[in-house]
């Protein structure tokens, strides 16, 4: 069965952008593929972050993923830092990664602008991502469009490593992306990618009131100044969102009423708000239930980490061997007795 790996940072809430762009796909794919879903806390520390809340945010992200339908009986859900092999493999892969490629990554160039002194971790972020995927020798990586460039680099790293250490074999498969139709959801500002750091999101766990308060001032067709102006749905982000949350009949009605200036933008948003609220209701209810039992979430993550570690351990034994390291011998019995491990 082909293997899928994907990751999400615990740096913010799950919102309708990363849900439509990636998470919903994971939920659908977990039935047909061996699926690993990782909360990538080691990636999250490459941006400025609060150490005090990292653990809580990590648990919250796992809770949201479970509420969104990741099923621990079908997928392996775990936290990146619980499997130290991710860090180890990223170090080894650093040695075959061209510096120029890292400097060329658009996300690096964007994010580097936020720092006076750019941390090396930000530059090496895509190497850790390559390690995540290659550690499990995954075939497919369901992500949004913004991760395509990182995945191209992952393939290059795999090729370079295979050429140098693969002993004529394709030890690391070159992972391919899987995109959804919603590969880039625009934020409520109608311009930038929906992203927590830009404050232009609708959270998956937002209350009905919050959803309406966020949607009400959202940008629509800029040429439509008054409700008497006919609109152009194709250039309106609210119309695009209707396509993910409303029935085909409603989408057709929205387009017709917009073009004919029969509805104002607020009317159109009200219908969208109701449909988003109805779609997210079961997710919100499941999340509220899980928030009452954090120990259950921790237990699921514990099980996930133990399965992932077993898989990662197998890969790393091969990797260390192929890269020529001296294998650590098990401690001799006498030294185990001395250290009180055995009598």
157 counts as binding ligand TRP under rule CB under 6 A? no
**Residue 105: which of 47, 141, 146, 149 has the closest Cα?**
149
Phi then psi dihedrals of residue 141, to 5 deg = -135, 100
7 counts as binding ligand TRP under rule CB under 6 A? yes
C-alpha span between 49 and 110 (Å, rounded): 17
Specify whether 193 is catalytic.
yes
97 counts as binding ligand TRP under rule CB under 6 A? no
231 binds, among ligand AMP, ligand TRP, none (CB under 5 to 8 A by kind): none
**Residue 318: which of 138, 98, 158, 89 has the closest Cα?**
89
Q: Which of 4, 5, 17, 153 binds ligand AMP (CB under 6 A)?
A: 17
8 counts as binding ligand AMP under rule CB under 6 A? yes
Interacting stretch for ligand AMP, rule CB under 6 A, among 98-106, 144-152, 155-163, 232-240?
144-152
Specify whether 196 is catalytic.
yes
146 counts as binding ligand AMP under rule CB under 6 A? yes
9 counts as binding ligand AMP under rule CB under 6 A? yes
**Choice among 48, 196, 269, 281 that is catalytic:** 196
185 binds, among ligand TRP, ligand AMP, none (CB under 5 to 8 A by kind): ligand AMP
Question: Of 142 and 231, which has the nearer Cβ to ligand TRP?
Answer: 142
Give the full edge-to-edge strand order of the sheet including 34-39. Answer: 75-79, 34-39, 3-8, 140-142, 176-178
40 counts as binding ligand TRP under rule CB under 6 A? yes
C-alpha span between 50 and 45 (Å, rounded): 9
Question: In terms of DSSP bridges, do strands 34-39 and 176-178 run parallel, antiparallel, or are they unpaired?
Answer: unpaired
Cβ contact 25:178 at 8 Å: yes
Q: Which of 16, 37, 133, 157 binds ligand TRP (CB under 6 A)?
A: 133
Q: Which of 147, 154, 237, 246 binds ligand AMP (CB under 6 A)?
A: 147
**Choice among 48, 109, 183, 193 that is catalytic:** 193
Q: Which of 184, 240, 259, 322 binds ligand AMP (CB under 6 A)?
A: 184
147 counts as binding ligand TRP under rule CB under 6 A? yes
85 counts as binding ligand TRP under rule CB under 6 A? no
Interacting stretch for ligand TRP, rule CB under 6 A, among 2-10, 87-95, 194-202, 315-323?
2-10
143 counts as binding ligand AMP under rule CB under 6 A? yes
Residue 8: exposure state from Cβ atoms within 10 A (0-12, 13-18, ≥19): buried
Residue 106: exposure state from Cβ atoms within 10 A (0-12, 13-18, ≥19): exposed
Contacts by 89-94 with C-beta closer than 8 Å and gap 24+? 89/131, 89/134, 89/135, 89/312, 89/315, 89/316, 89/319, 90/124, 90/127, 90/128, 90/130, 90/131, 92/319, 92/323, 93/127, 93/130, 93/131, 93/134, 93/157, 93/161, 94/124, 94/127
* 265-291 and 208-215 helices, crossing angle to 10°: 150
Q: Which of 141, 241, 268, 277 binds ligand TRP (CB under 6 A)?
A: 141
**Choice among 109, 111, 219, 262 that is catalytic:** 111
Residues, the chain: 343
Count of residues near ligand AMP by CB under 6 A:
17
22 counts as binding ligand AMP under rule CB under 6 A? yes
* Catalytic residue ranges: 111, 193, 196
Residues of this chain that interact with ligand AMP (CB under 6 A) are 8-9, 17-18, 21-22, 143-144, 146-147, 182-185, 193-195
Which residues lie near ligand TRP (CB under 6 A)?
Answer: 5-9, 40, 43, 129, 132-133, 141, 143, 147, 150
């Amino acid at each position: 069965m082909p293997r899928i790996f994907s990751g999400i940072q615990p740096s913010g809430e799950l919102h309708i952008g990363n849900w439509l762009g990636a998470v919903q796909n994971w939920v659908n794919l977990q039935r047909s593929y061996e699926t690993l879903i990782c909360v990538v806390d080691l990636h999250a520390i490459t941006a400025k972050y609060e150490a005090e809340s990292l653990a809580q945010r990590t648990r919250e992200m796992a809770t949201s993923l479970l509420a969104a339908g990741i099923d621990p009986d079908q997928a392996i859900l775990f936290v990146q830092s619980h499997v130290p092999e991710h860090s180890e493999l990223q170090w080894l892969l650093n040695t075959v990664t061209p510096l120029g490629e890292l400097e060329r990554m658009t996300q690096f160039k964007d994010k580097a602008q936020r720092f006076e002194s750019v941390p090396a971790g930000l530059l090496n972020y895509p190497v850790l991502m390559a390690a995540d995927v290659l550690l499990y020798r995954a075939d497919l990586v369901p992500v949004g469009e913004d991760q395509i460039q990182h995945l191209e680099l992952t393939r290059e790293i795999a090729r370079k490593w295979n050429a140098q250490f693969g002993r004529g074999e394709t030890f690391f498969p070159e992972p391919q992306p899987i995109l959804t139709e919603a590969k880039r959801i625009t934020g409520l500002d109608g311009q930038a990618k929906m992203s927590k750091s830009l404050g232009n999101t609708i959270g998956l766990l937002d209350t009905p009131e919050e959803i309406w308060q966020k949607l009400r001032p959202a940008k629509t067709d800029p040429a439509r100044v008054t409700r008497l102006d006919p609109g152009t749905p194709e250039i309106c982000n609210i119309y695009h969102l209707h396509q993910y949350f409303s029935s085909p009949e409603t989408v057709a009605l929205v387009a017709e009423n917009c073009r004919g200036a029969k509805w104002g933008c607020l009317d159109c948003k009200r219908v969208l708000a109701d449909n988003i609220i109805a779609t997210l209701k079961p997710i919100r209810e499941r999340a509220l239930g899980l928030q009452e039992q954090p120990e259950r979430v921790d237990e699921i993550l514990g099980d996930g980490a133990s399965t992932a570690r077993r898989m990662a351990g197998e890969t790393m034994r091969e990797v260390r061997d192929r890269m020529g390291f001296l294998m650590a011998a098990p401690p001799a019995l006498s030294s185990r007795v001395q250290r009180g491990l055995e009598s």
